[in-house]
Structure 1
Amino acid sequence: MGNMNKETESVIEMVWRHQKDHIVEQLTYLQEHAWVLFEKYENIMRLMHSKAATHMQLISEAFQDISRLLQTEANVQLKALEGLENKTLNFTSLMSSMKEMQEKIRDKKLKWRERCDIAVKTSVMNAQLEEMLTMKRVIDGAISPLQTHEWRGIRHFMKPIPDPLCFDPESANPNLRVSIDLTQVKFQPSTENLKDRRHCFEPGLYVLAMPGFQSGLHYWEVDVGLKSNWIIGVVKGLVERKGITELSPPHGYFVLRKHKDYEFYGLGSLPLMVKTSPIRIGVSLDLIRHHLAFYDADTAKMIYEYSDCSLDKGLFAFFCPGVPIRVEDWRSMKLCL
């Protein structure tokens, strides 16, 4: 009986040691796992705090930029109002002088010198009146000079509204297909024998957008995707559409060309310093200040600009979806509305 008790105790002791070792092993694993999780979540919390601080800094800078832009806008408007007030005062003075002159003219006893003086004053008044009739210049000057590059840091808060453009099928090269809604164009070889080709570009794979631009500020965006080559810009409405023409300002073309990935050209033969290949291109046209600029629409970084060029009324947005070299090139170029 005593031997059996000893054997039982021995078995129990052995089972306990086995269980204890297993429990210790499990506790050790749980402890290690808990420590790994603790370090992981500690790193996550540290990263979240860092990102939160960065976001707070960005938001603070964004609101500072908004405040600066609004102050610039206010200064422009105040300057324009001062000009209008001066014009108004001049107009009041002119009306008073006209009334005084009318009274003199009614006097039939005017001397020759007085009549000459009235004629001179009338000429001056006509010039002043002509100037007042051009108040539109002052009003145009009240339009904010803020260009697209000034919303670089706050593009999610403030961004120009794109003009409602659509592709003009009549101007499209026969090998370009324009979508039914006139917002997409792509290369598609044509086998049709079109009768009327008076208004289309040939042999260039070009197309225009409507309506044209006569005055003011304009902005539009183009989704170029991952295309390896394309051309975007503006062109004078009277350019020759037939034959091969150099796409340069002397010939009426103001364009940005993508030749291949990360290789862009404006004027000249040297490529531009562009580190990325934008998916969307923003085009800003200012006919008041004769300025044209191209941007990466997603980052607001300027790619190229034309300044003080012969940009005036009668311009049209100009596009070339490119020659297919790889799969992406067969996809459409899209106007972003």
Structure 2
Amino acid sequence: MTTRARITGVGHYLPERVVPNAWFASFLDTSDEWIRARTGIERRHFAAEGEFTSDLATKAARAALAAAGRDAGEIDAIVLATSTPDLTFPATATIVQEKLGMTGGFAFDVQAVCAGFIFALSNATALIAGGQAGRVLVIGAETFSRIMNWEDRTTCVLFGDGAGAVVLEAEQGTGTSDDRGILATDLHSDGRFRVILQVSGGVSSTQTTGHLTMAGKEVFRHAVEKLHDSTLAVLAKAGLGIADVDRVVPHQANIRIIDRTAAKLGLPREKVVVTVQDHGNTSAASIPLAMSVAVDQGLLAERDVVVTEAIGGGLSWGAVALRW
């Protein structure tokens, strides 16, 4: 028998404030048509003043717990992926732990920018497989509106705030690809490319938060190539192929990256979950957020083979293959 980590509940939260593309046209040389054509984004959500990453994460976590039929007291660990923590320390995961009323177990953050949820899910899976935890709450949450340069139309129109969460639970399987749960993970990073997607500040270097900077064309090229390769690698690890995939839940960064990667893999568009039009790039939150929306829309059926993949600053990238 093999211990698998299976998703038993998903949930998400988006701040109340909806920001349409037209809002940017009021102070930047851009338009709704320009943004839609190049990104596929139509709107995004921004957190309210005084609304923190931990608040978004907590609301998504509560939704996931409710979907799983679990109470926070039944959770052994929280793994929170974020690049926009409430504080330098402690980990935002511990703040969420307190807000959920969870007094046992442990909680920590993972930072891999847009690939954060993939890295968090992989870590949580290892905790379960190793017997360290039986139930893990895995969250992706961001308030990227707090690190935008509002004079840079190439970046500030892309990002939004939000959170998504899943409950992972230990389940015994046969050790084959027929098992439900996480079947394989594939993680990578290459610091040589860190300068093409980074934030211009930090505690040790500038003692400031800084703003997001990105070399869009370079990121696009790396994204398509690396997401393609990681998807094939994780499927091979799971003993599966492209023909076995029922759904892909990609990082929701840009419709062009999503479409180009799917085409390179030979995947029809109808198998790809796309939500970027409604919330933009929410970084580490985008995959669990898209998963939750897909469940709400009935797009993920029991025993579907699902691949999820993402790339972010670092560069860091990876993929997870699972059976729903």
More helix by share: 1
User: TM-score if structure 1 supplies the norm length?
Assistant: 0.23
**Which structure would you say has the larger Rg?**
1
Higher strand share: 2
Return the structure number with greater relative CO, CA threshold 8 A, min gap 6.
2
